């Protein structure tokens, strides 16, 4: 009745922004991501009807405000008649700061909880359940380069290229700590309701996905860089044109983008992407990683940096 799993955050290169079905949390658009390796969430789930209600510890502290979403995810996985659960999660990176902690959290949760409950499910069903809790979490069940597609009101998710087949590196520049002003879920719903650019965003997404998928198939870094930066800036344009506007960037976010632009001018194979937060993720070829890391560390306003290779999807681990 007790099991543990680990999962890594993923970073979308072609982004999910907007829902076609809010109740079922079905994305309005497909997306393409890379799963990281060194940032990690570990979840332990124990079913125990001796406890009065579900319990959640995050990095050792009770987290009642996060519990409803976690309990609901377990209800979706196992049905409302399930046993009560004690859940513990630990992170080796800052949470709720645009580093996709919800993605790794719900991916690890469904893997640990299904094992603890003795419930057999394939990876796609687990991904669909994780995706109901957080759309991006569906991708963290899988490793390497991952594509999420929409098919008849449901999601299909698969690894399109393994990490070992194109071992890109990711440098994360932390430019602010603390919780973000508005959650990605609320912000994307606001964009869908108020941003005049939202319909165009949805309309052009398939083209960006095709371009990115071809770039991954061909291991064409230049093509992947171009379409990824374009898709990222387009998503942020949709956010900026929302009412009220959604702006996650700060001065250091822009400074990091400038650093990446300068490196590109010097011929370094690197591009940036930014999610619902002020952190900048620089994706590069392995040989460029040290140079990109040094340049971002030297950029004004950067508080910290993290480096990661690409990793595998969520998996069970031995109980602590």
Q: Closest CB to ligand DP6 among 30 and 269?
A: 30
Shortest separation between residue 229's beta carbon and ligand DP6, angstroms? 14
Q: Closest CB to ligand DP6 among 27 and 269?
A: 27
Q: Closest CB to ligand DP6 among 47 and 248?
A: 248
Shortest separation between residue 291's beta carbon and ligand DP6, angstroms? 27
3-state secondary structure the chain: CEEEEEECCEEEEECCCCEEECCCCEECCCEEEEEECCCCEEEEEEECCCCCCCEEEECCEECHHHHHHHHHHHHHHHCCCCCCEEEEEEECCCCCCCCCHHHHHHHHHHHHHHHHCCCCCCHHHHHHHHHHHCHHHHHHHCCCEEEEEEECCEEEEEEEECHHHCCCEEEEEECCCCCCCCCHHHHHHHHHHHCCCHHHHHHHHHHHHHHHHHHHHCCCHHHHHHHHHHHHHHHHHHHHCCCCCCCCCCHHHHHHHHHHHHHHHCCCCEEEECCCCCCEEEEECHHHHHHHHHHHHCCCCCCEEEEECECCCCEEECCC
Q: Closest CB to ligand DP6 among 235 and 263?
A: 235
Q: Closest CB to ligand DP6 among 103 and 260?
A: 103
Q: Closest CB to ligand DP6 among 16 and 47?
A: 16
Shortest separation between residue 275's beta carbon and ligand DP6, angstroms? 4
Shortest separation between residue 118's beta carbon and ligand DP6, angstroms? 28
Q: Closest CB to ligand DP6 among 184 and 253?
A: 184
Shortest separation between residue 57's beta carbon and ligand DP6, angstroms? 21
Q: What is the dihedral of CA 306, 15, 13, 206, to 10 degrees?
A: 170
Shortest separation between residue 108's beta carbon and ligand DP6, angstroms? 15
Shortest separation between residue 54's beta carbon and ligand DP6, angstroms? 19
The residue with its CB nearest to ligand DP6 is: 185
CA–CA gap between residue 260 and residue 262 (Å, rounded) = 5
User: For binding to ligand DP6 (CB under 6 A), which residues are involved?
Assistant: 12, 15-17, 25, 31, 102, 134-136, 184-185, 275-276
């Amino acid at each position: 009745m007790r099991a543990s799993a680990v999962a890594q955050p993923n970073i979308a290169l072609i982004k999910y922004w907007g829902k076609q079905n809010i109740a079922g949390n079905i994305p309005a658009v497909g997306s393409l991501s890379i799963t990281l390796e060194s940032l990690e969430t570990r979840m332990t789930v124990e079913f125990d009807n001796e406890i009065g209600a579900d319990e959640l510890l995050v990095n050792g502290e009770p987290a009642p405000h996060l519990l409803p979403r976690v309990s609901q995810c377990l209800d979706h996985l196992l049905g409302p008649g399930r046993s009560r659960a004690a859940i513990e999660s630990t992170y080796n990176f800052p949470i709720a700061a645009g580093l996709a902690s919800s993605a790794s959290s719900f991916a690890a949760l469904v893997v640990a909880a299904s094992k603890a409950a003795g419930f057999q499910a394939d990876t796609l069903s687990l991904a669909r359940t994780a995706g109901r809790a957080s759309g991006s979490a569906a991708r963290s069940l899988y490793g390497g380069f991952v594509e999420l597609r929409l098919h008849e009101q449901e999601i299909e998710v698969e690894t399109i290229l393994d990490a070992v087949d194109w071992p890109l590196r990711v440098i994360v520049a932390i430019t602010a700590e603390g919780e973000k002003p508005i959650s990605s879920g609320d912000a994307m719903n606001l964009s869908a309701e108020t941003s005049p650019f939202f319909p165009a965003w949805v309309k052009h997404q398939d083209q960006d996905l095709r371009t990115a998928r071809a770039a991954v198939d061909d291991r064409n870094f230049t093509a992947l860089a171009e379409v990824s930066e374009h898709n990222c800036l387009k998503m942020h344009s949709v956010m900026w044109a929302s009412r009220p506007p959604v702006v996650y960037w700060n001065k250091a976010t822009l400074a990091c983008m400038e650093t990446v632009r300068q490196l590109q001018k010097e011929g370094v194979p690197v591009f940036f992407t930014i999610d619902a937060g002020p952190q900048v993720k620089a994706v590069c070829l392995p040989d460029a990683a040290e140079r990109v890391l040094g340049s971002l560390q030297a950029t004004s306003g950067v508080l910290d940096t993290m480096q990661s290779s690409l990793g595998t999807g969520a998996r069970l681990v031995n109980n602590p």
